[in-house]
Amino acid sequence: MNENTAKLGKLRKEIESCSEKEAADIVEAAQKAADEAISAAEKEARSAGKHSSRRTLDKFREDERRRVSEKRFSESRRVLIYRTQLADELFSRVEAEIKAETQKAGYRDYLVRSVSQAQAYSSVDNAEVYCMERDVPVLEEILSGRNVRISVSDSIVFGGIIVKIPEKSILVDLTLDAALEKEREQFSASKEMQL
């Protein structure tokens, strides 16, 4: 999981630098064009010296400011869409890697650590443990000798466990699904993923 967290951090940096420069260049070019157009209109108004030219200049300035503002918004939106696409691609790769990791021998150790983490909240005796069907035999071995009911949960897609201790109204979600969703939410909440 630490490797995947490092990959998320790396992607954040890639996303920030990749399209931000391009958007800044476009906005800068639009601002420069607006400044040149306003400057030309001001020169024209000065040479004409008429009151109506001043109103025309004010309207032109307003129109140019609106155009630049719309361009900035459009480019910011484009950058955000691009970043979202990159994030979706990254999380698709992370999901594939998680699925591959759960097929390896080290996944059993992850389940053992998850049971230990659940015990930090309360004893898992008299608990209900939910897992994927493929994890039932491993958890039966890990939890042998304890008064625990193991059930299959269709809501778990990647792996891990959910421990429910009804006596104490405790529910501990230690699934890889929940960990991935938390990472996705934190990533989406970062200022780089906002307009």
Q: DSSP string spanning 95-123?
A: HHHHHHHTTSTHHHHHHHHHHHHHHHHS-
What is the DSSP track for 121-172?
HS--TTEEEEE-GGGHHHHHHHTTTS-EEEEE-TT-SS-EEEEEEGGGTEEE
Amino acid at 145: G
Task: Assign domain 106-182 to a CATH class.
Answer: alpha beta
Q: What is the mean pLDDT of the chain?
A: 82
Does 41 score more than 80 pLDDT? no
125 pLDDT higher than 90: no
Q: What is the mean pLDDT of residues 50-74?
A: 81
Specify the pLDDT at position 146. 87
| 24-28, 55-59, 94-98, 135-139, range with the lowest pLDDT | 24-28
Sheet holding 148-152, edge to edge: 148-152, 127-131, 160-165, 170-175
Residue 186 has a pLDDT of 86
Is the per-residue pLDDT at 1 higher than 60? no
192 versus 180: the higher-pLDDT residue is 180
For tokens 């039932």, the residue is 136
- The domain segmentation of the chain, as residue ranges, is 2-101, 106-182
pLDDT the model gives residue 195:
53
Q: Which residue has the tokens 């269709």?
A: 154
Q: Please give the helix or strand (H or E) that residue 173 lies within, else none.
A: strand 170-175
Does residue 12 contact residue 192 with C-beta atoms inside 8 Å? yes
Q: Above pLDDT 90, what percent of the chain?
A: 35
SS3 label, residue 34: helix
In tens, the pLDDT along 2-32 reads 565 565 566 566 665 656 666 667 767 777 7
Q: Using CA atoms, how far apart are residues 150 and 148, in angstroms rounded to an integer?
A: 6
Does 110 score more than 80 pLDDT?
Answer: yes
Give the span between the Cα atoms of 174 and 158, in whole angstroms: 11
pLDDT tens for each residue of 142-170: 999 888 999 999 999 999 999 998 888 88
